[in-house]
């Protein structure tokens, strides 16, 4: 009886640990959240209400709001056009309640028509 009781407890512990491991594996790490905003998507929305309906921006604002001490990295295409685009995006994100001190523009998205948006730790900036 004593040995079978220990086996049951051991099995329950192992099952619990496996469950925790599997459950946590399905959750995305908050520091790995990333979105792509294409120039085509951006050109389609020119008014505030349309911006609010963009899934990329909705997801970003929601994710940022849930995570204290996080910043937003905006990796944009280089050049004057990319700089103008990222500055316009920053202005809209500020209007969507993300303070400018949490927005960091970095040149070099690697794609001429894409801004890569990531949530990062404030200390990673």
Q: Please name every residue paired with 72 in a beta bridge, in sequence order, or none if there are none.
A: 103, 119
Provide mean pLDDT across the span 107-120: 92
Residue 24 in domain: no
Residue 9 in domain: no
Model pLDDT, residue 41: 87
Residue 65 in domain: yes
- For residue 54, how many other CB atoms are within 10 A of its CB? 17
Q: Cβ contacts of residue 114 below 8 Å, gap of 6+?
A: 36, 37, 38, 39, 77
DSSP letter (8 states) at residue 101: G
Domain count, the chain: 1
Model pLDDT, residue 44: 80
Q: Which domain holds residue 118?
A: 30-124
Q: Which residue is it, tokens 């794609």? A: 111
36-92: pLDDT as tens digits: 999 988 888 766 677 778 888 889 999 999 887 899 999 999 889 999 999 999 999
Residue 58 in domain: yes
CATH number of residue 43's parent domain:
3.30.1330.60
Residue 114 in domain: yes
3-20: pLDDT as tens digits: 566 554 544 444 443 333
97-112: pLDDT as tens digits: 899 999 999 999 989 8
Residue 90 in domain: yes
Model pLDDT, residue 29: 40
């Amino acid at each position: 009886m004593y040995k079978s009781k220990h086996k049951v407890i051991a099995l329950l512990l192992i099952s619990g640990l496996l469950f925790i491991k599997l459950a946590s594996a399905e959750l995305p790490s908050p520091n790995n959240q990333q979105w792509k905003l294409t120039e085509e998507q951006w050109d389609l929305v020119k008014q505030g209400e349309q911006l609010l309906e963009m899934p990329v921006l909705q997801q970003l604002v929601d994710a940022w709001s849930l995570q204290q001490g996080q910043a937003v990295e905006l990796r944009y295409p280089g050049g004057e056009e990319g700089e103008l685009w990222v500055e316009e995006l920053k202005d809209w994100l500020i209007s969507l309640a993300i303070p400018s001190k949490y927005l960091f523009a970095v040149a070099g998205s690697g794609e001429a028509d894409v801004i890569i948006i990531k949530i990062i730790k404030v200390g990673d900036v």
